[in-house]
Amino acid sequence: MKQETGKILLRESIRFTAMLIGCALYALGVDCFLIHNQIIGGGVSGLASLFYILSDHRVSIGLMTVVINIPILLLGLKQLGWKFMARCLITIAVLAFFNELFIRLPSLTDNRILAAVYGGILQGIGIGIFVKFKVSSGGTELLGREIRHWFKFFSIPVWTAIFDAVIIISGSIALHDSENIFYALILIFVSAKTSDILIMGINRSKLCYIITDFGKDISEYLLKHSPRGITLIEGTGMYTGQKKNILLTCVKPQQIDQLKAVVKQIDEHAFVIVSDANEVIGKGFQDIQDKY
């Protein structure tokens, strides 16, 4: 019992620490790059930034972050439960604190493109940490999840994108700055790519399907000359009605040319499908114990 309690406390401590780091990086990106260069991105942070800029810095950005999120939390209270909402509120409060802390720092660049890139990187890392450690900071993603509960004709990402687009366009109109849309798109793209790398990892591989009549010969050669495993699946070609061997394997990107050369040498009529594998866990790649 004590051991289990200790594991729970350790897990919650790690999650809380990760939340602090994520909030700090996200707020740093907003305060030191986006606001000083008057770039209005999506999300609640973008809307809070807009109020802060329009008020000539008289409205507290941290306070606005909390105020805008409160109705979103109340809207989802029945749907998601008070425990989840309490966690969200703590994260929002921490994010607001860091917003207030870092807004006092000077701008780290006057180049708006660089500001969008650097701000996107920091926001992406923050979002990646939130997702990886199952932390929610509310915002348009949570609003999209709540709206999707009642209006199911759009998915959660589409609803979130709609809300973000409204904020970005509103910011561009309010600031009389049509270029803000361009910088916001850079911000969103960089943020999405950064969070994707953090969540999925940079050690991506290639998933290969080899449909052939010489499955045994190809697999024997590959097993002798490669550390990768191969799975044989029996299939039937629906056009010819003939039995086929389907070899399934994951390889590193630099091994693709070697694999195709081997397949061509043994069966020049083989059908090969190569696709991206965002995350491969198991022997020869990332150990499952390291991941979970």
Q: At what angle do helices 156-174 and 139-150 cross, to 10 degrees?
A: 130
Name the pLDDT band for 120 (thresholds 50, 70, 90): very high
Cβ pair 259, 247 in contact under 8 A = no
Tens of pLDDT, residues 61-102: 999 999 999 998 888 777 778 888 888 999 999 999 999 999
Question: Which pLDDT value is given to residue 123?
Answer: 92
**Is 37 a residue whose pLDDT tops 50?**
yes
> Regarding predicted confidence, which is higher, 119 or 285?
119
- The closest of 201, 51, 204, 42 to 123, measured between CA atoms, is 42
Question: Which pLDDT value is given to residue 26?
Answer: 94
Question: Which pLDDT value is given to residue 283?
Answer: 57
Lateral strand order in the sheet of 205-212 = 231-236, 243-251, 205-212, 271-277
Name the pLDDT band for 260 (thresholds 50, 70, 90): confident
Question: Which pLDDT value is given to residue 292?
Answer: 44
Over residues 243-248, mean pLDDT: 88
In sequence order, what E strands does the chain have? 205-212, 231-236, 243-251, 271-277
Over residues 203-229, mean pLDDT: 81
Q: Percentage of the chain surpassing pLDDT 70? A: 91
Tokens of 82: 């008070």
The whole-chain average pLDDT of the chain stands at: 85
pTM equals 0.75
**Is 284 a residue whose pLDDT tops 60?**
no
Q: Where are the domains of the chain?
A: 2-200, 205-291
Cβ pair 52, 35 in contact under 8 A = yes
Over residues 192-198, mean pLDDT: 85
Question: Which pLDDT value is given to residue 166?
Answer: 93
**Domain 205-291 is of which CATH architecture?**
2-Layer Sandwich (3.30)
Over residues 34-55, mean pLDDT: 92
Tens of pLDDT, residues 167-190: 999 999 999 999 999 999 999 999
**Is 136 a residue whose pLDDT tops 50?**
yes
Q: Percentage of the chain surpassing pLDDT 90? A: 37
**Is 291 a residue whose pLDDT tops 60?**
no
Alpha-carbon distance of 78 to 99, in angstroms, equals 29
Cβ pair 117, 44 in contact under 8 A = no
